[in-house]
Amino acid sequence: MTAPAVIRHLQFAGLPNGTRLHYASAGERGKPLMLFVHGFPEFWFEWEAQLAEFGRTHFAVAPDLRGFNLSSKPEAVDAYRPRHIVEDLVQFVAALGYERCIAVAHDWGGAICWNLAIQFPQLVEQLVIINSPHPYLFAKALCTDPQQQAASAYMNWLRRPGSEEVLAANDFAMLESMLTAGGEQPAPWFSGETRQKYLAAWAQPGEGDSHSLSGGVNYYRASPMHPPGPGEPPPDISRLDPAAFVVRVPTFVIWGERDRALPKSLLDGLDQFVPDMRLERIPDGTHWVVHEQPELVNRLIRSALK
DSSP assignment string, 72-111? ---S-GGGGSHHHHHHHHHHHHHHTT-S-EEEEEETHHHH
Q: Is the pLDDT confidence value at 185 over 80?
A: no
Q: Does the annotation count 134 as an active-site position?
A: no
pLDDT digits (tens, 9 = 90+) for 277-286: 999 999 999 9
Contact status, residue 258 vs residue 264, Cβ threshold 8 Å: no
* pLDDT above 70 coverage of the chain, percent: 98
Q: What is the pLDDT of residue 1?
A: 63
Contact status, residue 242 vs residue 233, Cβ threshold 8 Å: no
* List of domains in the chain: 7-304 (3.40.50.1820)
Contacts with 280 (C-beta within 8 Å, 6 or more apart), sequence order: 252, 253, 254, 255, 300
Q: Is the pLDDT confidence value at 269 over 80?
A: yes
Candidates 10, 62, 43; CA nearest to 199 is 43
Q: Is the pLDDT confidence value at 11 over 60?
A: yes
Q: What is the pTM of this model?
A: 0.96
pLDDT digits (tens, 9 = 90+) for 46-71: 999 999 999 999 999 999 999 999 99
Measured between alpha carbons, how far is 202 from 200 in angstroms, rounded to an integer?
Answer: 6
Q: Does the annotation count 198 as an active-site position?
A: no
Q: What is the pLDDT of residue 2?
A: 79
- The band of 229, judged by pLDDT with boundaries at 50, 70 and 90, is confident
Q: What is the pLDDT of residue 220?
A: 98
Distance of CA 178 to CAs 7, 38, 41, 151, 201, Å? Answer: 27, 15, 9, 14, 15
Q: Does the annotation count 107 as an active-site position?
A: yes
Q: What is the pLDDT of residue 20?
A: 98
Catalytic residue among 9, 58, 80, 107: 107
The per-residue b/e assignment along 222-238, b for 16 or more CB within 10 angstroms, e otherwise, is beebbbeeeeeeebeee
Catalytic residue among 220, 226, 259, 291: 220
- The band of 187, judged by pLDDT with boundaries at 50, 70 and 90, is confident
